[in-house]
Amino acid sequence: MKEKASLRNFHGIIGLLVLLIAEICMFMQVEPFVSWFYPFAWWSYILIVDSIIYRIKGNSLIVSRTREFFLMVFWSTIIWLFFELINLSIKNWYYINVTNILWIRWIGYAISFGTVLPGIFETMELLESSGMYRTTSIKKITINAKWYIILFSLGMVCLISPIFFPKYCYPLVWGSLIFLLEPVIYKLEGRSLLREWERGNPEKFYLLLTAGLICGFLWEFWNFWASTKWIYTVPFFDEIKLFEMPLMGFLGFPPFAVECYVIYNFISLFRHGCGWEIDSYRVKPEKKVGKIIMVATSLVGCGFCLFMFQALDLQTVKSYSNILEEYKFISPTNLEKFRELNIFTSNDLLKRVETDEELRGVANKLSISPQKLDKWINWFELIQVKGIGWDNFLLLRKAEVDSLRKLAGQDPDVLFSKLKKINPDHSFVKDLPDKAMVKVWIMGARRISDQDD
């Protein structure tokens, strides 16, 4: 039995090896670990945590509830895309340096977003396995009809207000579905946190809050070092940051974990109470979801994913991979010479010209002047700041901002006004950057300039 268990628990070692390789290769700028670092890191983490849980309990999500795990990955993508749908209105984050090959990009969305629920729930189960909060208790409460009205009303306010007043009400998103769905789950006798509170047992709630904070830290830590990543444009709290996240933003991760748990419990209502936890997995094996419902749900879910992937491409992705073919000022002849030097991206070039001697050497091989190559390097450095990208770089050049130092010296309000005047009808750039994004660029340029000094 021990030998069999050991073989079944081999995935943790694989996860640890992949995570170490991904970390080393990412810092060494080795592809695909640079562009795909986030999914490498998170899938490794999920494997490692699941393996530890199995070692402690002899039962884990991946090993013992494999079908539920893959179903969770599917729902994880859909649930996160719901929040991406809201972000189309509140515009709190955007993605940069995404691959420009559509089918690879869309697969990348699914692989990355599929880690959200497993990451949170595996972390929660690990904490639960350690005995954390096992002896905690609170005063028992009595749930009645007034609770339903209050919670549902609060949920509607939290969900709708960020759409109409995104600048001020955006934090309410992270918790809205808790208030909306939890009373329904309780009323239909599903797996309810309210019922746990009614019994005076807050263990699950505390575990979720802690798991959310841990996952939030890891999300932001791994995102900070990645090339393909997200950038925040959160109003009011963007001056003090830990990694890319404004410090106050970390308060949103604990309720988000609770929200994910509640949403998944709501989905379980339509599966005869079957859930991902040990005591709810196959709770009613004699009752199964009909094939027609399964097929219909899959088709609707996949359709929503495709719709949102297209929306992300149009609205939330602000820059694509920095391959040299994207830059129109580089002639085909010079592109060929770059390939002969094994330089395919702007990152490759920046690594090759860290000294004046290296710059002159590369310029000589390209048969261009060092001054011209130096100008290109200044442009590349600007293009890469917080995912400015090619289109926005052209817009900044129109505003006479063509280097890091010039961008660092700008006032956000003044520069934003200039850009609006240059592109009043979106004829030059289809998606004019908003003021928050311009501020993020300037702050990023100032940090880089300060480091160089």
**Per residue in 125-181, pLDDT tens?**
999 999 999 888 888 888 888 888 899 899 999 888 888 888 778 888 888 899 999
Q: What's the confidence (pLDDT) of residue 452? A: 62
DSSP letter at 399 equals T
Pick the closest to residue 270 from 153, 193, 191, 159 (CA basis).
Answer: 191
Domain extents for the chain?
64-316, 324-452
- Give the pLDDT confidence of 277-307 residue by residue, as tens digits: 887 777 666 677 778 888 889 999 999 999 9
Low-confidence ranges of the chain (pLDDT < 70): 1-8, 237-239, 283-286, 423-430, 451-453
The pLDDT of residue 164 is 84
Closest to 280 in 3D by CA, of 290, 268, 263, 289:
268
Exposure string for 29-64, b = 16+ CB within 10 A, e = fewer: eeeebbbbbbbbbbbbbbbbbbbbbbeeeeebbbbb
Tokens of 31: 């592809």
CA-atom Rg of the chain in angstroms: 25
pLDDT confidence of residue 1: 39
The one-character DSSP state at 96 is: E
Measured distance CA(65)–CA(295) in Å, rounded: 21
Alpha carbon separation from 69 to 61, 74, 151, 248, 281 (Å, rounded): 6, 9, 30, 32, 11
Predicted pLDDT at 385:
87
The tally of CA atoms less than 13 A away on the side-chain side of residue 255 is 14
Rounded distance between C-alpha atoms, residue 123 and residue 367, angstroms: 55
The DSSP annotation for 221-265 comes to: HHHHH-SSEEEE--SS--SSEETTEEGGGGGGHHHHHHHHHHHHH
Calculate what percentage of the chain has a pLDDT beyond 70: 94
Bridge partners of 242, per DSSP, are 245
Cα(316)–Cα(94) distance, rounded to whole angstroms?
5
Q: Which residue is associated with the tokens 């700028």?
A: 29
Cα–Cα distance measured from residue 362 to residue 370, given in angstroms and rounded to the nearest whole number: 8
Question: Which amino acid, 425?
Answer: D
Residue 107 amino acid letter:
I
Distance of CA 77 to the CA centre of its chain: 11
The rounded distance, in Å, linking the Cα atoms of 249 and 216 is: 10
Question: Rounded to the nearest 5°, which phi and psi values hold at 134?
Answer: -65, -30
pLDDT tens track for 100-115: 889 999 999 999 999 9
How far apart are the C-alpha atoms of 238 and 231, rounded to whole Å?
Answer: 11
The confidence score (pLDDT) of residue 256 equals: 95
What amino acid occupies position 38?
Y
Question: What residues pair up with 229 in beta bridges, in sequence order?
Answer: 96
Burial class of 179 by CB neighbour count within 10 A (0 to 12, 13 to 18, 19+): buried
Nearby residues of 195 by Cβ (< 8 Å), 6 or more positions away: 143, 186
Q: How far is the C-alpha of 255 from the C-alpha of 120, rounded, in Å?
A: 12
Cα separation of 429 and 438, whole Å? 14
Cα separation, 113 vs 122, whole angstroms = 15
Cis amide prior to 32 (ω within 30 degrees):
yes
pLDDT given for residue 285 in this prediction: 67
